[in-house]
Structure 1
């Protein structure tokens, strides 16, 4: 199992968290509220936490999978939702 986390500065963290969960809720099992969410992707979960200043995103690969690809897919989706704000900054760091 491998994980990475990014703290993404944005004043719209809760909105993006909910948009991502609703978007992926048509294909995957999701649970969320305005402050936290989880998307159960086939190769591992994406966990989200929102506060007034940032969105914390944690990607976890369980078993076989490409963590860098997972990070890119999550970042691409969130950047689509944030198009009015401009590109979000993802500084992915390994989780021990």
Structure 2
């Protein structure tokens, strides 16, 4: 299955991880704590890990043609939650 990785430099990595997981928990299977989260979205799976200054994201699409859309969905949500800062 096609997979993509991204690292988002932010002091709020744990906060954004938890916000993403809580946001999608009403619609998709989600498991998370303050430093690790797994979200089983309709297009594939997102695995999130946070450390002191980085949110690590891995997305795995169910189908090759879905990877770009899955990346966009996750990135758009992170950008919305982090509207107060410029993400790297």
Q: Which category describes the TM-score, using the shorter chain as reference length? A: over 0.9
Q: Residue in 2 aligned with 1:76?
A: 76
Alpha-carbon separation, structure 1, partners of 2:5 and 2:64: 19
| TM value normalised by structure 1 | 0.86
Which stretch of structure 1 is more off in the superposition, 65-74 or 25-34?
A: 65-74
Alpha-carbon separation, structure 1, partners of 2:25 and 2:65: 21
Superimposed CA distance per residue, residues 14-62 of structure 1 (whole angstroms, 9 cap, x where no aligned partner): 0000000000001000000000000001231100000011000000012
Runs (5+) with no aligned partner, structure 2: none
Over aligned residue pairs, what C-alpha RMSD do you find?
1.1
Q: Residue in 1 aligned with 2:61?
A: 61
Alpha-carbon separation, structure 2, partners of 1:65 and 1:52: 34
Q: How many residues are paired up?
A: 88
| TM value normalised by structure 2 | 0.93
Greater share of helix: 2
Alpha-carbon separation, structure 1, partners of 2:65 and 2:84: 32
Residues 49 and 57, structure 1, Cα contact 8 Å, conserved in 2 = yes
Alpha-carbon separation, structure 2, partners of 1:69 and 1:44: 10
Runs (5+) with no aligned partner, structure 1: 90-96
